[in-house]
């Protein structure tokens, strides 16, 4: 468990540097141990590249590869050029030195700019950790792949690319209340005024990845199966293949907490399997309802982050949904989004401690439901 403690220290140091980005950093740590890929969605300037780069720099005895994809990116730029010396002898061999096939940490920015020339090779690399080009087949040493984009894909071929990233993380600007701390930490980072970085060896990460496969999931298997059925019933796609792979994330959460057995709280990682932004709140509501039943004290920080809802924020959101519903020409899909968000707020309302506030908000929610039923 000493290795897990070392990784936790490295992640904690990153959290002190990147204020308000704990969620992203913790999930990258989970992906690293589970050896599963992570996708970051968010606008420019939300520190996506900087966080991945800082994490990569803390992994020693391994090579990093980072690339910004465009529509014109060629296979040579990612996988390496053909070896000219061997090409003269009639052999098609790729010179992978310094390229993605040799990297232990891979970050591909604007991943959905990938064109058809590199798509198939990229899909195989992400899914099977194998590089294949012509007769060449090479097992990749990548500990994990991280992709990033400002937008979600619309093209069906690119949806297959998103599917190769098991973890999906929404990145946004930090809360205004934390801006002072962000400026202070950013100034230190810009001027290289920082504590000595805690590093972890690539081989130690591999040991954690092996230990992750030995975590006992028996205690959570039945509630996990029930949860997968519930997610499917709400329209959230969880294929059999993804359901199997998600167990790696659950096990990684347990391992990060110093446990060899998973508990209900480790199901928090399932909040990050959305396909659309509209699913984020629905997932959060469903998963929180399950993990709040866990009485174990050794929970992951993100599982313990079940904040008591702010009544003022909830009533504001209800009012926004009420105004949204009154808009003309709402599509069927947009109406469903309003209803899903209202169900989520209804669930959050149950956690409000102040009885008067709770009752008032419940009445507002009930009024909106009545309005919705009358207009259907």
Tell me the per-residue pLDDT of 263-273, one tens digit each, with 9 for 90 and over.
999 999 999 99
**102 exposure class (CB count in 10 Å sphere: 0-12, 13-18, 19+):** middle
Residue 153 forms part of a structural domain: yes
pLDDT at 249: 97
Both 60 and 13 in a single domain? Answer: yes
Tell me the per-residue pLDDT of 198-227, one tens digit each, with 9 for 90 and over.
889 999 999 999 999 999 999 999 999 999
pLDDT at 194: 56
Residue 347 forms part of a structural domain: yes
Both 238 and 171 in a single domain? Answer: no
Both 220 and 341 in a single domain? Answer: no
| Domains of the chain: total | 3
Residue 295 forms part of a structural domain: no
Question: Which of 228, 255, 289 lies at the terminal end of a domain, its last residue?
Answer: 289
Question: Which of 157, 190, 223 lies at the terminal end of a domain, its last residue?
Answer: 190
Residue 60 forms part of a structural domain: yes
Q: What is the 3-state secondary structure (H, E, C) of the chain?
A: CHHHHHHHHHHHHHHHHCCCCHHHHHHHHHHHHHCCCEEEECCCCCCHHHHHHHHHHCEECCCEEEEECCCCCCHHHHHCCECHHHHCCCCCCECCCCCHHHCCEEEEECHHHCCHHHHHHHHHHHHHCEEEECCEEEECCCCEEEEEECCCCCCHHHHHHHHCCCEEEECCCCCHHHHHHHHHHHHHHHCCCCCCCCCEEHHHHHHHHHHHCCCECHHHHHHHHHHHHHHHHCCCCCCHHHHHHHHHHHHHHHHHCCCCECCHHHHHHHHHCCCCCCHHHHHHHHHHHHHCCCCCCCCCCCCCCCCCCCHHHHHHHHHHHHHHHCCCCCCHHHHHHHHHHHHHHHHHHCCCCCHHHHHHHHHHHHHHHHHHHHHC
Both 261 and 334 in a single domain? Answer: no
Residue % of the chain over a pLDDT of 70: 94
pTM for the predicted model, two decimal places:
0.79
Q: How many residues does the chain have?
A: 376
Both 30 and 84 in a single domain? Answer: yes
Residue 324 forms part of a structural domain: yes
Q: Domain range holding 361?
A: 311-375
- Residue 328's pLDDT band, with cuts at 50, 70 and 90, is confident
Both 134 and 175 in a single domain? Answer: yes
Tell me the per-residue pLDDT of 119-129, one tens digit each, with 9 for 90 and over.
888 999 999 99
* Residue 23 backbone phi and psi in degrees, to 5: -60, -50
Geometric angle at alpha carbon 205, from 201 and 206, rounded to 5°: 115
Tell me the per-residue pLDDT of 274-321, one tens digit each, with 9 for 90 and over.
999 889 888 988 898 888 888 777 788 788 665 556 788 889 889 989
Both 135 and 23 in a single domain? Answer: yes
Residue 208 forms part of a structural domain: no
pLDDT at 376: 65
CA distances from 99 to 51, 73, 210, 215 (A): 21, 14, 26, 33
Both 24 and 169 in a single domain? Answer: yes
Both 185 and 256 in a single domain? Answer: no
Contact (Cβ atoms closer than 8 angstroms) between residue 27 and residue 272: yes
Both 33 and 149 in a single domain? Answer: yes
Both 76 and 143 in a single domain? Answer: yes
Residue 207 forms part of a structural domain: no
CA distances from 196 to 4, 10, 185 (A): 19, 10, 15
- Averaged pLDDT, 10-33: 92
Residue 305 forms part of a structural domain: no
Both 226 and 324 in a single domain? Answer: no
Say which CATH number the domain at 24 has: 3.40.50.300
């Amino acid at each position: 468990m000493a290795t897990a403690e070392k990784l936790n220290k490295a992640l904690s140091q990153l959290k002190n540097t990147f204020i308000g980005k704990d969620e992203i950093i913790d999930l990258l740590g989970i992906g690293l141990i589970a050896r599963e890929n992570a996708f970051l969605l968010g606008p420019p300037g939300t520190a996506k590249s900087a966080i991945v780069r800082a994490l990569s720099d803390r992994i020693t005895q391994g090579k990093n590869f980072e690339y910004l994809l465009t529509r014109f990116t060629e296979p040579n730029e990612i996988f390496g050029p053909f070896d000219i010396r061997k090409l003269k002898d009639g052999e098609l061999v790729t010179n992978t030195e310094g390229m993605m096939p040799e990297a232990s940490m891979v970050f591909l920015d604007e991943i959905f700019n990938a064109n058809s020339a590199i798509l198939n090779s990229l899909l195989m690399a992400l899914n099977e950790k194998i590089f294949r080009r012509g007769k060449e087949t090479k097992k990749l040493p990548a500990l994990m792949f991280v992709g990033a984009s400002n937008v979600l894909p619309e093209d069906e071929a690119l949806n297959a690319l998103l599917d190769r990233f098991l973890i999906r993380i929404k990145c946004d600007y930090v809360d205004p209340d934390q801006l002072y701390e962000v400026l202070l930490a950013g100034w230190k980072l810009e001027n290289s005024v920082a504590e000595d970085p805690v590093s972890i060896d690539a081989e130690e990460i591999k040991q954690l990845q092996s230990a992750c496969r030995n975590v006992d999931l028996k205690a959570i298997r039945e509630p996990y199966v029930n949860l997968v059925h519930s997610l499917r019933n709400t329209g959230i796609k969880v294929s059999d293949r993804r359901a199997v792979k998600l167990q790696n994330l659950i096990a990684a959460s347990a391992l990060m907490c110093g446990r060899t057995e998973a508990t209900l709280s480790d199901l928090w990682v399932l909040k990050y399997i959305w396909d659309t932004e509209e699913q984020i709140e629905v997932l959060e509501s469903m998963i929180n309802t399950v993990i709040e039943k866990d009485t174990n004290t050794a929970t992951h920080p993100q599982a313990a982050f079940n904040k008591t809802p702010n009544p003022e924020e909830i009533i504001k959101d209800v009012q926004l949904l009420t105004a949204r519903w009154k808009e003309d020409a709402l599509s069927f899909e947009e109406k469903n989004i309003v209803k899903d968000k209202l169900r989520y707020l209804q669930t959050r309302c149950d956690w409000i401690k102040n009885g008067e506030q709770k009752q008032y908000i419940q009445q507002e929610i009930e009024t909106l439901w009545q309005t919705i039923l009358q207009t259907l």
